[in-house]
Copies of this chain bind each other. A is one copy, B any other.
């Protein structure tokens, strides 16, 4: 890191910034200091400019995060759809989705909260997934909801990523032998599978969802049964 050359007051002869460079540095800062650590001052410091210089290339901090979301969607693995069996293509997509969210858990709120309207490139990703369902012969009415179910599960799985692996350890276990035994049994399975707890939970949930969805839409009962889980008191 060289000491940035002091810049005089007016417009420099060569342009110093562009949106791309700002985005790159944004991701680095988020990785290093988290979303809360992403401040315009820190960003400016890393880029060697003044804070207000950023506003010539990015409308606001929120606009910056929309760019983050766009780049994220392009990083997901949709290569399986149409090329390998759907179940494997979905697993590949889901794991890449989770993996990318886990690599930067601080991005989860960004991905979830940025409206799709501000991220047109993200919908290209969705097209690939839906097309995968269609090619595999799933009824058209089932595909959007099925994808949403998977995405919902993935978001949830990404949420507890910051927590340590022993977050499953109960607090008041000494007061409940059953709870203690259950956690011990789960820990044993984790050991046997040579996996991390959260990975085992994710793979089990993924397997259950894919199996469940298939049974739902293969049974020919469709929404009649898919809606069976409606809230009792709704």
The chain A residues found within 8 Å of chain B, CB to CB, are 88, 91-92, 95, 99, 109, 112-113, 115-117, 119-120, 122-124, 126-127, 130-131, 134, 139-141, 143-146, 148-149, 151-157, 159-160, 162-163, 167-168, 170-172, 176, 178-179, 181-183, 185-186, 188-189, 192-193, 195, 199-213, 215-216, 223, 225-234
Contact = CB atoms under 8 A, between A and B. Distances in A.
A178 B228 contact: no
A130 B205 contact: no
Nearest to A205: B149
A182 B192 CA distance: 42
Given A130-B178, A209-B209, A229-B210, A204 B216 contact: yes
Interchain residue pairs A-B with the least CB separation, the first 3? A208-B212, A156-B156, A212-B212
A185 B226 CA distance: 15
Nearest to A230: B203
Contacts of A226: 200, 203-204, 207-208
A188 B144 CA distance: 12
A134 B182 CA distance: 9
Contact of A201 (B92, B113, B145, B162): B145
Nearest to A91: B229
A46 to B, nearest CB: 25
A200 B199 CA distance: 27
Nearest to A80: B232
A160 B115 CA distance: 10
A127 B227 contact: no
B145 A155 contact: no
7 contacts: A95-B233, A113-B162, A120-B171, A144-B183, A148-B205, A152-B157, A207-B216
Nearest to A219: B211
B144 A95 contact: no
Contacts of A119: 171
A127 B176 contact: yes
A124 B205 contact: no
